[in-house]
Chain A
Amino acid sequence: ETGVTQSPTHLIKTRGQQVTLRCSSQSGHNTVSWYQQALGQGPQFIFQYYREEENGRGNFPPRFSGLQFPNYSSELNVNALELDDSALYLCASSPMQGQGDLQFFGPGTRLTVL
């Protein structure tokens, strides 16, 4: 069984730029959630996608946006990067409907904004 994968592993951007992070869900999982984890903090929920629709959003501005594709993979896009966006971005996938809170994380993408 293939686990959750994310790309790229690391990324360095400058303030004001845009970034796209990618996630492939675990086999058999159709729900993808994105989290931001700052150093020394727990992950913070950004949003969740189910059947290609946003299914809940955390307290993040609209410059954080996402997509889910028919194969359940997902993208996180962040526009107008700010220094505080530097963090570990985690993707988690969940089994079929009814177990959406049983989430398994990918390895994460470490984003540094200079």
Chain B
Amino acid sequence: QKEVEQNSGPLSVPEGAIASLNCTYSDRGSQSFFWYRQYSGKSPELIMFIYSNGDKEDGRFTAQLNKASQYVSLLIRDSQPSDSATYLCAVSPPNDYKLSFGAGTTVTVRA
């Protein structure tokens, strides 16, 4: 079982719609959860982090965490063509600072 799993996509959404990305993780003791955005040919950019169960909102982005279900998601509201990228989910194990990444979900926002 992979430590972090994401749907590879591609996920195609119309401009202005909500993009919903999902991520599951295997280590029940994981404490910290991150979403990175990676444009083609570029490095990952941290866009959201969440430590507690529930929702965390930042602008058009909402991260949702459910530790009981070992599930973390990212919602992108009012999707724009500039949101077209690969979104990487990362998880930090307990008492450890390494990040385990999923393979990423590619999102395409069509105008």
A contacts, CB < 8 Å to B: 31, 33, 35, 40-45, 48, 55-56, 58, 88, 90, 92, 94, 100-108
Contact = CB atoms under 8 A, between A and B. Distances in A.
A108 B43 contact: yes
Interface band, chain B: 20 to 34
Contact of B98 (A41, A56, A88): A56
A58 to B, nearest CB: 7
A41 B99 contact: no
Given A42-B4, A42-B104, A103 B43 contact: no
Interface of B: 4, 31-32, 34, 36, 42-46, 49, 88, 90, 92, 96-104
Contact of A42 (B49, B88, B98): B88
Given A31-B97, A42-B88, A48-B97, A107 B103 contact: no
A35 B36 CA distance: 14
Contact of B45 (A31, A35, A105): A105
B101 to A, nearest CB: 3
B92 A105 contact: no
Given A42-B88, A45-B99, A104 B46 contact: yes
